[in-house]
Amino acid sequence: MQNHLSTTVALAALFVCCVCGSVQAQSTNANAKAVPKIDGNYVLTDIEVCNPGKTGPVIISGLATFNSATGKLKLVGSVAGGDPMTLDPLKQTLSYSNSATTVTLGDTVYQAIYGKLANGIATYFSLIAAADPCAAQATLSRQ
């Protein structure tokens, strides 16, 4: 399961993206979206679904702690996956960055939709990525 967990974290921890947009700098254009800050503790729910006969599904539930000063993300929680299905602990540290439309976790770029901001910090956001044979969707809610 450790190898599966590493793959899950690399793909899922959130996920592999085939639509890899570049990280965008904040624009001086008045029509440009503001870049939300991601900082603090977020409850994470992450689901990976793969084509039949491939690995998956994989489900992650945990606490994601983002430190905007260091650009590091710490994940602590549980991951369910494998054949037979097992529930295992998850503990991972990754680098992160974000733009108005993407979040990059490690080397993986996700498409992002942000909800309400509080003092410029995202209170919740949703991530999605797809790369054959798998797709993943994660939601994060600030605590």
Report the pLDDT value the prediction gives residue 2, as an integer from 0 to 100: 43
Report the pLDDT value the prediction gives residue 32, as an integer from 0 to 100: 63
Report the pLDDT value the prediction gives residue 50, as an integer from 0 to 100: 86
Please give the tally of structural domains in the chain: 1
Tell me the HSE value of 88 on the side-chain side, using a 13 A CA sphere: 18
- Please report which confidence band the pLDDT of residue 69 belongs to, taking 50, 70 and 90 as the band edges: very high
Tell me what the pLDDT averaged over the chain comes to: 81
Report DSSP letters for 85-133, one per residue.
Answer: TEEEEEEEEEEEEE-SSEEEETTEEEEEEE--EETTEESEEEEEEEETT
pLDDT tens across 74-126, in order?
A: 999 999 998 889 999 999 999 999 999 999 988 788 999 999 999 999 999 99
Report the pLDDT value the prediction gives residue 33, as an integer from 0 to 100: 76
For 2, list phi and psi in degrees, rounded to 5: -60, -45
Check whether 3 has a pLDDT greater than 60.
Answer: no
**Domain assignment present for 28:** no
pTM of the entire structure?
0.76
**Domain assignment present for 13:** yes
The mean per-residue pLDDT over the stretch 15-38 comes to: 52
**Domain assignment present for 43:** yes
Q: What is the CATH number for 96?
A: 2.40.128
Beta bridge partners, 125, equal: 114, 140
Nearest partner of 117 among 95, 100, 96, judged by Cα: 100
Domain extent, residue 56, equals 2-17+36-142
Please check whether residue 73 is in contact with residue 93, taking contact to mean a CB–CB distance below 8 angstroms: yes
CA–CA distance, 111 with 115 (Å, rounded to integer): 14
Distances (CA, A) of 76 to 35, 48, 58, 62: 26, 17, 16, 6
**Domain assignment present for 29:** no
Give me 65's structure tokens: 């702690």
